[in-house]
Amino acid sequence: MHNVVIIGAGPAGLSASLAAAAAGAPVLLIDSNPRLGGQYWRMSADDFQDQHNQHFDLDTGLLLINAVKARKEIEVWSGAQIWSATNKDGKNTLRIIYQGKERIVNTENLILCTGAYDRTLPFPGWDIPGVMTPGGVQSLLKGHGVLAGRRVVVAGSGPFLLPVAAGVIKAGGSVVALLEASKSRRWLTSFFVLLENISKIKEAFYYIKTISEAKVRARFGQAVIAAHAASNGELESVDIAKIDRNFRIKKVQNIKCDVAAIGWGFTADTSLAGSLGCNQLVAKDDGVVVWVDGEQQTSIPGVFAAGEITGIGGSDLSMAEGVIAGISAAKFVGCNVEVLKAHRKRRAKRQRFANALIRAYPIKPGWKSWLKDETIICRCEEVCLSDLKHSINELGATDSRTAKLLTRCGMGLCQGRICGRFVVDLVANELNLSPTDTDRISAVNRPIITPIPLGVLALGE
Amino acid sequence: MKNPDAIVIGAGVVGACCALALTNAGLKVLIIDRGPVASGTTGAGEGNILVSDKEPSAELTLAIRSRDLWFEIDTDIGGGFELEAKGGVVVSRSAKGISDLKRLSALQKVNGVEVIELDGAGLRKIEPHLSESVDYGVLYPGDAQCQPMLAAAQIIRAVKKRGGSFIQGENVVKINANAGSITGVTTDKNQYASPIIINATGTWAGEIAKLAGSYLPIMPRRGFILVTSPAPKIVHHKVYDADYVANVASSDADLQSAAVVEGTASGTILIGASRERVGFKGDMDISILRQLARQAISLFPVLADIQLLRAYRGFRPYAPDHLPVIGPDKNIAGLWHAAGHEGAGIGLAPATGDLIAAQITGRTPFMDPSAFSPVRFKGGEYVAV
C-alpha cells in the first residue's frame, strides 16, 4: 500500500490524517510548525499548562492531536519546510528541509492542507514596528504566551478579530479599540444558516462575552487608516476613521496604543498547489484558492486539497473537508472505503456558513484612498506607491507582473506573500482596469516555495 | 501613430536601442510588442554588459563600442536603469584554463580591452570572499551591468518623449510588402504603414522573418538564473569562471554551466549561467539549480548560508554561428533584422541600434557591419524548434 502524504497539520490536515489512517492507508504527515495543531490550535509547548484560556475549543484539537500521535500508521515530520514541489508524469516530488537536511519525497497521493495567512492592506505607517496582523498577535499569545503590547487596537474586518481581541483581554491586555470596517450585520439575517451552525454562534458569543465583560465595545464602520511612530521608531498612536460603505474616510480621530492588530480576513496559501500545477481560481473575496471536486480532489488525479486553501471557511469547514479528503485519498490508494452522505452534509452546512461570512465582510475598494504617494507598498523592498505609479505612468507597465519586475515590489524575502495580492489591485486601479483572474493567480506563483540556503540546495541530488 | 518612418517590432532592450538610435537620427518610430515592455528575454537577463567574454573579432569590436554607448545613453536619457561600471573578474583553477585565459586576455589587450592580471592575493583584495582555491584571475574594469527591464523601459520612455510611440499588447500577424518592398505591418488589432521594419523580436525573430516570406535561423538556448535574498555586499564585481567563455562559443546541445556570480544594486546576488538547447521548454529543472548553486559556492563558499529566493529562466536567441544578426534582409527591401544576440543582447544592444540607424540613414557606421549581415545564412525552410 502506498503512503498518503499530507501537508499541514492544522484542523484539515489532522482530520485528513486520521480519516486516511482509519481507512487503512499509512500516512506521512508533514508540517512546518514545531508542534501539531496549525495556527488554529497553536500551543506553546507539548507539556502545556492550561492553555484553554486562549482557545474556544482546545479539546477538539487535543483530541485530534493525541489521536494522530497515538496512531502507528501516521508518521509525523514536524518542523519540515517544503521548498519545492513539482509534478512530472503523474508523480509528485516534494523537496523538504527536515532536521537540517534535504529529503525528497516522491508520491502519487497527496493531500494539501496548507492553510491560510492574514490578508493585509497597506496604509500610511503600516510598516511601523507595533503594527501587526491579528494572526501575528495570536501566534505570540498561543505559541509563546506573550502579549505583544499593553494597549492594543484590534481592527480590520471579519470574525477573526473577535478571538484576537478576547485573547488580548484574557492575557491581561487592554483593547483600546475594536473596529470592524464592515457596517453590515447581514449575516444575522441568514437565520437558517445560523441555526444549522449553532456551534459557530456559541463560539462567537464565547468571545463576545469576554470582550463585553472588559467593557470593550466593538465599533462598526470604522478602520485604522494611519499609524504614527514615536521618536524611538515604535508605534505611538493610530488614526481611526469612520468610513462609508465603500471604505472612504469620513471622520478621523487619533488614539494612543502600543500595538495595532489589523487584518482583513485571510489569504489561502496555495503556493505548493500552484507549483504542482493544480488549477486555481479566484474566489468571491478575490483571493486565489485551489479548485477541488466533490471528493476534494484537485485537477491533478491523486492530489487532494482540504481546508482554507480551497476557500476561506474556518476550522469546522476545514475538518469536514479534511475527513472527505482523507477518505478519498485512502480510496485512491486502494482502500475499501467511501465518503458518507453525512460527511457531505456536514461540509455543505459549514460551506453555507462560510459563504454567509464572506458576503458579510466585503473589502471595498475605498481603502486605496487611504494611501499617500509615499506610503510603503512592499515592505521587504521598500517600494512606495509613487514608485508603483511611476512604473505604470512613465515606464509603461500595463500589468502587475511588469510593474513588479520594474519596481521589485513583492520580490523580497516574503516572496510577495504580504503585498502580492493588493499590488494587483493597486496596479489595476492605476490603469483603470479590473484585475483579471490571470493577474491574481500569477501573483501567487512561487517556484521556490520557501527560501532555501544555497548550501542545502547544492548538497541535494 | 499614423505613418511612422520606421516600425520596430519588439520592446526588449535591442528594440528599444534601435528605436532610440533611429529617433535620435530624426525618424518617427513606432514600437510594437505583443506583450508588455521587456516581457521576453530582456526580462529574464542579468544585465550583462561585457567586454571580457569575447575573443578578438567583429563581436568584440561591437561589444567595446556598445559598452561606451551604454554610458552615453545613460547621460542622454537621464539614467534610471542602475548602470554600474562594476568590472568583471574572470578566474580559472585548472592549468589549461589558466593558460587559455592568459592567451585570451593578452589578445583582448592588444584589441583595446583593459585587462589586469591578478594572483590569489590580488584577487582577494578586490573580492575578499573569493575561495582560497582560486589563485589566478583577470580583472576587466570595462565590464558593466544594468537592470535590463528598467533599461528597456527607460529608453522607450525617452523615445516616446521624443515623438515616438509604443503600442503593446498587439501581435504582428502579417508583414505587408509590395513588389519586394515593405509597406507596413498588420497586427491582430490594427494595421500600420511604414517603409521600414526592424525585426527586434529576439528568440522569436525567425517567426517574423517567416511572416515576411524570408528566413532567419534563430533558435532558443535556455538558461536559468538564481536570485538570492538581499545580502550585505559579498560580491563586488561580476565574477565568473573562464569555462563560461568556452560555453558561450560552444554549439553543444547538452547542458553546460559555469558559475557567474554578481551582486546587484538591490543587494540580491544573481547566479548564472546554464545553457541548453531544449526548445521553449519552460519547466523548472531542479538539477540545474543545484549545479548552479554548487558552482557558485565553489567560487564564494560564504554563499552556502545565503538563501535562494527565486529562480527564473529565459531563452537566449542564438544563430548557428553564435553571432548576432544585424542588417538588411536579403529578400525584402525595408526589412531589417536586429536579433540573435544570444546571451549578450543587453551588452550589445546600443551598438546594434547604432549600426541599424547608421545603415538606414546612410551615415558611415562605426565598424564594418558585414560580419553580422543576415545574408550569411543560406535560405531554406524555417524550422521552429
**A190 band by pLDDT with thresholds 50, 70 and 90:** low
Q: Is the pLDDT of residue A205 over 90?
A: no
Distance from CA of B242 to the nearest CA of A (A): 21
**Counting beta carbons within 10 angstroms of the beta carbon of residue A89, is it exposed (0 to 12), middle (13 to 18) or buried (19 or more)?**
exposed
Going by C-alpha positions, the residue among B149, B214, B204 that lies closest to residue B172 is B204
Q: What is the full DSSP assignment across A276-298?
A: HT--EEE-TTS-EEE---TTSB-
Residues of B in CB contact (< 8 Å) with A are 36-39, 43, 149-150, 153-154, 156-157, 160, 166, 168-169, 226-230, 266, 271, 283-284, 286-287, 289-290, 293-294, 296-297, 303-312
Lowest mean pLDDT among A203-212, A285-294, B24-33: A203-212
Tell me the pTM. Answer: 0.91
Please check whether residue B180 is in contact with residue B331, taking contact to mean a CB–CB distance below 8 angstroms.
yes
Q: What local confidence, expressed as pLDDT, does residue A461 receive? A: 76
Provide the 3-class DSSP secondary structure of residue B151.
helix
Domains, in order of start, for chain A: 4-117+267-339 (3.50.50.60), 120-264 (3.50.50.60), 371-442 (1.10.10.1100)
Q: Is the peptide bond before B11 cis (omega within 30 degrees of 0)?
A: no
Which tens digits make up the pLDDT trace of A1-30? 468 999 999 999 999 999 999 999 999 999
Q: What local confidence, expressed as pLDDT, does residue A189 receive? A: 54
- Partners of B283 on chain A (C-beta within 8 Å) are 86, 88
Listing from the earlier edge strand, what are the strands of the sheet with A81-88? Answer: A81-88, A91-98, A101-107
**Counting beta carbons within 10 angstroms of the beta carbon of residue A50, is it exposed (0 to 12), middle (13 to 18) or buried (19 or more)?**
exposed
Which tens digits make up the pLDDT trace of A311-349? 999 999 999 999 999 999 999 999 999 999 999 999 999
- Per the CB < 8 Å rule, is A454 touching B293? yes
A86, A402, A412: residue with CB nearest B37: A402
Listing from the earlier edge strand, what are the strands of the sheet with B165-168? Answer: B165-168, B29-33, B6-9, B197-199, B335-339, B325-328
Phi and psi torsions of B225, nearest 5°: -130, 135
Q: What local confidence, expressed as pLDDT, does residue B279 receive? A: 84
Q: Is the pLDDT of residue A33 over 90?
A: yes
% of residues, chain A, pLDDT over 70: 97
Residue of A395, A417, A449, A459 to mutate when probing chain B, most B C-beta within 10 A: A395
Which tens digits make up the pLDDT trace of A344-388? 999 999 999 888 888 888 999 999 999 999 999 999 999 999 999
Listing from the earlier edge strand, what are the strands of the sheet with B181-187? Answer: B172-178, B181-187, B191-193
- Per the CB < 8 Å rule, is A451 touching B307? yes
- Partners of B32 on chain A (C-beta within 8 Å) are none
Distance from CA of A276 to the nearest CA of B (A): 11
Q: What is the full DSSP assignment across A53-79?
A: GG-S-HHHHHHHHHHHHH-TTEEEE-S
A396, A406, A457: residue with CB nearest B290: A457
- Partners of A95 on chain B (C-beta within 8 Å) are 286
Question: Which helix H or strand E contains B315, and what residues bound it?
Answer: strand B307-318
CA distance B320 to A302: 44
Residue A80, all three cell numbers = 519540515
- Per the CB < 8 Å rule, is B304 touching A455? yes
Please check whether residue A318 is in contact with residue A308, taking contact to mean a CB–CB distance below 8 angstroms.
yes
**At residue A394, what is the residue type?**
E
Provide mean pLDDT across the span A89-101.
Answer: 92
**A184 band by pLDDT with thresholds 50, 70 and 90:** low
Number of H helices, E strands in chain B: 9, 19
Q: What local confidence, expressed as pLDDT, does residue B20 receive? A: 98
- Partners of B166 on chain A (C-beta within 8 Å) are 396
Question: Which helix H or strand E contains B361, and what residues bound it?
Answer: helix B345-361
Beta A151-157 vs A259-264: how paired, if at all?
A: parallel
Q: What local confidence, expressed as pLDDT, does residue A53 receive? A: 76
**B382 band by pLDDT with thresholds 50, 70 and 90:** very low
- Partners of B169 on chain A (C-beta within 8 Å) are 398
A401, A408, A458: residue with CB nearest B294: A458
CA distance A169 to A188: 25
**B383 band by pLDDT with thresholds 50, 70 and 90:** very low
Q: What local confidence, expressed as pLDDT, does residue B364 receive? A: 96
Please check whether residue A246 is in contact with residue A92, taking contact to mean a CB–CB distance below 8 angstroms.
no
Domains, in order of start, for chain B: 6-68+148-218+321-376 (3.50.50.60), 88-141+219-318 (3.30.9.10)
Mean pLDDT (chain B) is 92
Provide mean pLDDT across the span B200-220.
Answer: 94
- Per the CB < 8 Å rule, is B226 touching A406? no
| Per-state percent for chain A, helix, strand, coil, to nearest 5 | 35, 25, 40
CA distance B196 to B191: 14
Lowest mean pLDDT among A14-23, A201-210, B168-177: A201-210
Residue of A382, A408, A454 to mutate when probing chain B, most B C-beta within 10 A: A454
Angle at which helix A400-407 crosses helix A385-393, to 10 degrees, equals 120
User: Which residues on neighbouring strands pair with residue A232, listed in sequence order?
Assistant: none
Residue of B13, B32, B290 to mutate when probing chain A, most A C-beta within 10 A: B290
Provide mean pLDDT across the span A52-59.
Answer: 82
Q: What local confidence, expressed as pLDDT, does residue A49 receive? A: 60
A88, A398, A455: residue with CB nearest B36: A398
A95, A396, A453: residue with CB nearest B307: A453
A405, A447, A455: residue with CB nearest B297: A455
Alpha-carbon B24 to chain mean position: 22
Phi and psi torsions of A280, nearest 5°: -120, 160
Distance from CA of A440 to the nearest CA of B (A): 17
B157, B229, B304: residue with CB nearest A396: B157
Listing from the earlier edge strand, what are the strands of the sheet with A174-180? Answer: A131-132, A259-264, A151-157, A174-180, A218-220
- Partners of B36 on chain A (C-beta within 8 Å) are 396-399, 401-402
Q: What local confidence, expressed as pLDDT, does residue A450 receive? A: 93
- Per the CB < 8 Å rule, is B306 touching A415? no
Provide mean pLDDT across the span A265-282.
Answer: 96
Which residue does chain A place closest to B149, by CA atoms? A406
Q: Is the pLDDT of residue B46 over 80?
A: yes
- Per the CB < 8 Å rule, is A394 touching B156? no
